[in-house]
Amino acid sequence: MANPLPSPSTRPGPAPPDPDDDEKGARWKPKAQLRALFPGNRGEREQAPVSDWASLFGDLTRSPSTADAGEAVEWRIHDKTHLEFAIDYPLGKEGKKRVWEAYFFVPESFRIHEATYSKKAIYEDLQSYIRYAVPEPPFEELGKTSEGSFLHRVDNALVKAVGAPAGSVEVRDATRELRLWVCLVRACGLVAMRGVEQQLKGPIEPERIRRESLGFAISCNEVSRRFHAVVDKRRGDNLADEVRFALDWCDEASSIAVETLCADLALRLENDARVEAAHPDLAEHVAAAAVAEARHREEKGFDSVGRAGASERDIEHLEFRRHVLKRFTASVLWLSLEVREGALWVVHVLYAVAAMLAMAFAVVAALNMTHLSDNVFRYALLVVLAYAVKDRMKAVLQEVFNKWISKRFPDRLWVIRDQERKESLGFVRERAGFVPFKQVPEGVLAKRRLTREHSLEESARPERVLWHTKEVAIEAEDSTFPMLTEIFRLNVDHWLSHTDDPKRRVLFADPGDESIYAAIARRVYNVSVVYRMRGENEPDAPWHRIRVVVSRKGILRIEPIC
């Protein structure tokens, strides 16, 4: 007989700390948030699958959730010193070439300009990562095994890998399909969960919340059950070691992803008083789907099962394990970038021309001074003078050529490669630098001045303009992935090194009560970013603007303006 399960409790509360733990260790102890509720006899710990709930709650068909359409650029704060934004480049016949343009209006008090912030420093602070964008079919589609489905592709790749030697194409394809499956579960499951959570914003419809929440849990169970069946069926086959390794890790990673999604949704439902009042046991039923995944990993002996009495080291290991699995599975999406200087050969050719012209001057001067050879001192003086002119002439010509090159050639050329499939996907031309206000396009300045009361305000808050652009030409067509996603990560730590203290004491008088007040105000700075993504034949694409609010301590928030 199964162990008896205590009566369900929505908030059992944190367990008292172990007296042997010190104060620091107690802070890391796991704290109970919600107890799962399985169907059937409440006094028994049943192993009933979550899909059995359909017989209890009737028709639980959930409406397809839709992700926010938005635009092609997504901005977010990665950490206190890194601003992150993502750009999508579609794969296919349309929209092969895309142009990204951004103007950063930086306060002059940052002391960021051409003399202090070289192009090398700009590119060191602006890092790029490119990956495939995961397809996002409806989450329940992942549970299908019909011809052409994602699970059928996984199973078919595993069948082809049976008996194949290590390192063969079949083995690589099998490990690739397994990792891609986990990425699909993570991405599609997140979209589906957010679709349910969206219903919690504003007035709620209790029956719809119940239907979609339980429908999500059922879909999670069905997707996991079908994938486990495929994996278990192939474990006994003659597979290379790397495929067996990928089988276990992907099984574990997909289970963790489903557990996390269900646990997150369950806690959000639990913390919503309106849902609790309408359906007191709804969160507990969704939590049961998370517990089912933990039990699956426990049965398989995977090293990623949390325990109520876990120590700080145990929780640290659990998080490390999750991170390793996520990196392993997500590696199927990442692409490599080969970066080189955009005009290296032009620079060398023009520098050689500068040297030739300078040397020609020196030779001509030397030939014209041969008749002065009887006067050694005068001859030596003229030789030294000719050498100095030749040296400066070479330096000036190099500077002139540099300015000419920077206006006509990209700073860097990129080649985007898929190393696993040994193919090139596209090419990138990139430029960055400072531009004077008079060279900023009128459309950009119009967006920047939207929030200014008068043109004189530009004198009160002077700014430098940092410009960045990329021309991306995609040559690949891939039926598996809809697009490439480039993730920029801008490090603003150098920008903030000369800012004032983050807090100031402000004194002011209230005319109403005739009193003097003191308050602490945060010293903040605004960095306006005007940007757009356009196609090759879209010169009039609209500009967008955001405001990044920063202080000495880092990035505080991002505010969309227009």
DSSP 285-334: HHHHHHHHHHHHHHHHT-S----TT--HHHHHHHHHHHHHHHHHHHTTTB
If we measure between CA atoms, which residue out of 11, 19, 10, 14 comes closest to residue 29?
14
Residue 422 tokens read as 């040994």
Cα-based distances in Å from 480 to 134, 150, 177, 366 = 9, 10, 11, 69
Three-state helix/strand/coil letters over 399-443: HHHHHHHHHHCCCEEEEEEECCCCEEEEEEEEEEEEECHHHCCHH
Degrees, nearest 5: CA angle 185-191-195: 135
Query: Which pLDDT score is estimated for 560?
Result: 85
If we measure between CA atoms, which residue out of 118, 140, 335, 293 comes closest to residue 222?
140
Query: Which pLDDT score is estimated for 348?
Result: 67
Number of Cβ within 10 Å of residue 237's Cβ equals 14
**3-state DSSP helix/strand/coil % of the chain, to nearest 5:** 45, 20, 30
Q: Are 78 and 548 in contact (CB under 8 A)?
A: no
If we measure between CA atoms, which residue out of 325, 202, 223 comes closest to residue 272?
202
If we measure between CA atoms, which residue out of 216, 44, 230, 235 comes closest to residue 140?
216
Amino acid sitting at position 339: V
Q: Are 410 and 343 in contact (CB under 8 A)?
A: yes
Residue 499 tokens read as 């800012």
What's 218's DSSP letter? H
If we measure between CA atoms, which residue out of 154, 218, 214 comes closest to residue 184?
154
Query: Which pLDDT score is estimated for 49?
Result: 43
Number of Cβ within 10 Å of residue 318's Cβ equals 18
Residue 317 tokens read as 């290991």
Degrees, nearest 5: CA angle 329-334-337: 155
From CA 37, how far away is CA 56, in angstroms rounded? 13
Q: What is the pTM (predicted TM-score) of this model?
A: 0.73
What's 372's DSSP letter? G
Q: Are 158 and 174 in contact (CB under 8 A)?
A: yes
* Binned average pLDDT, 10 residues per bin, the chain of 562 residues: 34 41 54 62 44 38 35 80 86 73 90 86 88 86 88 91 89 92 91 90 88 92 92 87 92 93 91 89 90 92 87 88 91 84 67 73 68 62 71 75 70 83 84 88 88 66 88 78 86 86 82 88 87 84 91 88 82
